[in-house]
Structure formats: structure tokens, C-alpha cells
Structure 1
Amino acid sequence: MNHSRNTSHSILFLVQAAMIAALYIVLTALAAGFDLASGAIQVRFSEVLTVLPFFTPAAVPGVTIGCLLANILTGSALPDVVFGTLATLLGAIGTYALRKHRFLCTLCPVVSNGIIIPLVLRYAYAVPGALWFLALTVGAGEVICCIIFGGVLISVLLPHKGRLFPASMEEKSA
């Protein structure tokens, strides 16, 4: 019986991660279609999903794999594929680590992307401007996506948390 529960939990985890990854890719493609997902000033709609580790640990690999595949599919430079994915991973891990702090957890992707992505823009794409300016513009886009839209997403999903993100066995025993 315990094996069946572990298998069900593993399948649920994989399905949630895959759905989040797919959503990330679609939202990135949408933002790219409107030329909002690249350059010094960017609003990548998919970054709103980096708040989902607030609800489920499956969102950490979900947004990470989604970011990796989205960067590859949109033709990003190799340093962007590697370090952009790293920034998303760090933001998602931070969100999960601070999941008990509803508002504070949305800052993690802003910080990780605000530090890493300006370096990617400068050294992978030769985007002109001071690093502090690039950090400011990337950070502004992240504030819009993660803190504002992410905060709204958390508020909308919170009443449905139990149905959308069933607690794992580890979470129930904690």
C-alpha cells in the first residue's frame, strides 16, 4: 500500500512539474512574440510561474526545465541558456525555501534574476549600458512579473490550493 502511495505521489509530482514547464514555455513564446522577453527591458510573463514553489515543490524543476527549454527553443545564446536557467532555479529554490512567507517569497526570483541576467546581457549579448542600469531594468521587469503578477496569482490560487496542489506525504507529516 505504501508503495502505491509513493508511486502516486511521484506521478503527481512529475505531472505537475511537466505542466508547469509547458506553461513556462508557452508564456515565454507569447512574450517573445510581442518582443517583451529579451533585451535590457524585459517582461517575461513566464516568470510569474516562479512563485508556484509557494504551493508545490514540483514547481522548482517545472520552472527550471521550462526556462531551459524555452531558452533553447527561442534561440538564446549558450550563456543565457545556462545562466538564465540557473537564475530561475535559484529564484524557485528561494521561493520554496521562503514559502511560509507569502510576500517575501516573491522577492527571490527578482534578486536572482536581477543579479545574474544583467551579466548575461552584458557578456553574452553585448547589451550596452552600465551593469547597475541593466540590473535596474531587469529587476523592474521581475518586480512586475513576480511581485505584482505573482502576488495576484498566489491570491487567486490560494483558495484552491488543496485541489490544484494536493499535499505530498512529506508535507502532510510535517
Structure 2
Amino acid sequence: MKEETNPKYMQLLATGRELFWKYGFKKVSIQEICERAGISKMTYYRFFENKVELAKAVFDKEASQGVVEVKNILKEKSLPSEKIKKIIMMKQNGTTGISKEFLKDFYTSSGDGLKEFIEEKTKKLWQEMLVDFKKAQKKGVFRKDMKPEFLFFMSQKGSEMITDERLLRLYKNPQDLLVEFSNFVAYGISPHK
């Protein structure tokens, strides 16, 4: 049986996501995940060697789903401005409930391989997305004079920005900062609806 079709595996992913988003990676124990999921530790270890492997699986699932959603939006028959708005709204919905602890743990963790996994996965997904962005650019979704690779560069800078405590203090929550960053990349400082 594939893990993605196993209800217990999926419950662990959902519970891991919920707890990691709220408390960060480091503050959540395997015991807490198992209790919240209603799954034994023995079952947990059938799927994941440790907490880092669960975190990687959660990130992988979320990132892969995001890519599929963006690709679907780019294929829609709608105005470019509507597509960009939908992508930003998708980003906003996907980041609801993210804590400062989550951002710090996931984007600055060291020694456990999580940060490197996220960087490598992100790089692979962006390489895949660049093909779709270039197709969308030819259809007028993005400016003709824009280099889609610039979006990848900006996303990396965004990862640095969302862990900056001084910047985070300007916003009510990390989600507001992520939305601000997405809006800035999409619209600059121009007013938009």
C-alpha cells in the first residue's frame, strides 16, 4: 500500500502540519504528534524514522500541492491580473496560522538536514515551475521583459526576510509579511484591488 493512501500516514502529515505551523518544529515532540493524531508511536515509526523525516514529508506535500495549484491557475482561461491575484490568495491561504517559530525552525534550522532539504526541494520545484512561467509569459500573464528566474531569486530573498525579527515586528503575524512580500513582487508599490 502506498503511504499517501494510508489514512494513518495522512493523519500524521495533517497533525504534523498543524502543530509545526502553530508551534514550530523544535517545540513539538513525537509524543505530542501521536497523541493529537490518535496514533501510536509504534505506528509513527513505521512511517517516519524521526521528527525531521515527518517535517520533510509535510514540507514536500505542501510544496508539491502548491506547484500543482499554481500550474492549474496558469492554465485557466482568465485575465493575467486574475491569475496573479489567485496565486497571491493561494499563498495567503496556504500560510494561514504560520507562527514565527515555524519560520525560524524551518528556514534556519541547522544540523538536522531540514534546511538543506527545503532549499534543495525548493530549487527543484522552481526549475519545474520556470517552464510553466515562461509559457505563461508568452501568453501575456507576465511582462515580456521580465526574467522568470528573477522570481526564484526573489523567493530566496523572501525566505531570508521572513526570518528577520526586525521585519517580523512590523506585522501582526508572519502571514501578513508573506502576503506583503507577494504583493510587492507582483505589484510593486502600485495600488491594486
TM-score (norm 1): 0.45
Looking at CA atoms only, which structure, 1 or 2, has the larger radius of gyration? Answer: 2
Q: TM-score, normalised by structure 2?
A: 0.42
